[in-house]
Chains A and B, each alone.
Chain A
Amino acid sequence: MTCIDVFRCRRGCTQISRWIRFSRPREVIEALRLDDLTVAAPDGPVRVSVRVEPGQLGAIVLPPLGARAVARVVAGLAGPRSGRVFVGAREVTSLPPSRRQIGYVPAGGGLLPHLTVRRNMEYGLRHRERVHVVAEDWVRELTDRLELRATLDLRPHHLSDAQRLRAALARAAACLPEAMVLDLPAAAGGAEHLADLVPKVSPTGAPGVAVLVCTADPAVLSQIAVRATVVTG
């Protein structure tokens, strides 16, 4: 892999991106791991443990409010009561969302309604220093893989549910996250093909992104083999 894509965090530290790490042996590619993560959900505390390998889909089966609470904690938008979140060997529990390298697809997709699909996809990129050519190449590839080319100049309210989910995935994957968390409420449109979509959000030659899906939707769960251990109450 010849691409040199350098992410620079706000404090000035630099980390070599996944593009370079993809050339390493498979065993060092990052998995997403939740170790006894206890989250204060509206219905009561939830304790979750799971390990999702790169390229795998994992599911946390919870009702919408609980699923949202767990997804927010994994993404770094809220703190856990206890437990830890790992991306590979790197503990990210206390890191802010932007430094975790975890892509987040909130319920509904979280697409900005005043921007086109193209601008939505580019949005996260604008806040990270990187080699622009590499980033642009990847976004273009992502657009083709998720069949979003025809929708690039449309706004989110012009899209079907399935297209909106694809656009949300593309937006989260545009920054090349090491893992992804999806908050999919019941009957999220387009989620019935999630297992086909997820492999498309990793660059060619990479083992794939570990994707954790927080949902109670049977149509989604039927596609996912790895289940988290969840203890409620």
Chain B
Amino acid sequence: MKELVEVIAKALVDNPDAVVVNEICGEQSVIIELKVAPEDMGKVIGKQGRIARAIRTVVKAAAIKANKRVIVEII
């Protein structure tokens, strides 16, 4: 799940090296923290959070198989 967020984020930003993804596992849910370079924030959030929403939708679909709730946070 962590790698999925990483792959998508790296493809979107201008500084792929600055992308950092952390995974915090709970019992039923997983929190994924995505960090990017400050100038790339817009590239992963988008107008009205449209890109962020698309990332969450794709990750959610992947999580169905693992039977887990995944929360993607951009910090």
* Pair from one complex: no
- What is the interface of chain B, defined by CB distance below 8 A to chain A? none
